[in-house]
Amino acid sequence: MRLVTPAPECPCRPLSARKLLACYRTSHVPPGADAKTVKAAGPKIARDMVRMRRMLMIQGMRAMRSFLTSHFTERIEAVVARVNSHFGVASIDAVNAKAQEILPNQHREIWRQAIEEVLGRDAALSLLNEYLPQVQSVTAKAHEGTTILLGGRVEPQSSALIYRRAQMLARRVTSINDVTRQRLATVIATSIDEGKTVAEVAKDVMGSIPEVATSRVPTIVRTEVGRAVDEGTKQALRDSSTVRTVMVIGCQAREPRGPLYRGEPTCNITGVPVQDVDLLEWHANHTGTLCPETFW
């Protein structure tokens, strides 16, 4: 299916959920439509939801990739800066002149403290607070877009439900912080075990940024933005008064080792009662789209 994207001059940029749909929507379900009207537009709604998911993924991934890359690059640089400040200097090269007498094992604790201060619990909480608005934005757009396609109206109370779903997703980012801290500690321990000086360890740390801080970002972003879109879609399907069962379309294959619903792989699954939609989970890098299948 060809992905329809707005031209560069499109006045819809930056795209809200409503304007996003206006760029490519093919279904025409009026607000407050009954199940019969929605059912008649079912195939077009499914096509529009596939397109909407792709567009939201593009938008969300671009913003989140930039945020996570910058955040963890800055954190690792801050670890080195913290060690430099311990010796009262401002640069890596100046460290050796001041700490040349320090033996490798003597500066192991300095690095450990720097990592804990920069990437410890407080840092994880700070990351969560910065990350939450981005996840919430993607989730809210998916919820609003799906609601519009189904002929519904976004109710005021929906914002609290979306926020709770976004909070659940945002808590996952703390594990990213933990893994980054562990990887950085490994780089430092390896350098110290090789007998390197403080400045040499610092240079190894700076050189490790692509591997430690940014190499996993594309995969993380693709998975987490996809989950945010799916959470917004789930809430909209639950809010709908016309949807009876849901399905997943567009998966390349059914992954038997992935998450299951009643013993069945969730990729390309059909016939799931809408009240069970929150029981559906997918493997990392999932590409399928959750859509309405049957209506009341």
Give pLDDT, residue 10: 46
* 65 occurs within a structural domain: yes
CA–CA gap between residue 161 and residue 143 (Å, rounded): 10
* 6 occurs within a structural domain: no
Handedness of CA 86, 88, 90, 91 (dihedral sign): negative
Average pLDDT over residues 211-218: 88
* 115 occurs within a structural domain: yes
pLDDT tens, position by position, 84-142: 887 765 555 555 555 555 656 678 888 999 999 999 988 888 899 999 999 999 999 99
- Number of domain units in the chain: 1
pLDDT tens, position by position, 177-189: 899 999 999 999 9
Give the model's confidence band at 11: pLDDT under 50 very low, under 70 low, under 90 confident, else very high.
Answer: very low
Where are the alpha helices (H) located in 3-155, listed in sequence order? 17-24, 35-40, 42-86, 92-99, 108-119, 121-149
CA–CA gap between residue 282 and residue 255 (Å, rounded): 9
Give pLDDT, residue 152: 94
Give pLDDT, residue 6: 45
The residue range of the domain holding 197 is: 34-241
* 137 occurs within a structural domain: yes
* 261 occurs within a structural domain: no
* 257 occurs within a structural domain: no
Give pLDDT, residue 96: 56
Give pLDDT, residue 98: 54
Average pLDDT over residues 248-258: 87
* 225 occurs within a structural domain: yes
**Residue percentage of the chain with pLDDT more than 70:** 88
* 285 occurs within a structural domain: no
Euclidean distance between the first and final Cα of the chain, in Å?
Answer: 29
Amino acid at 154: V
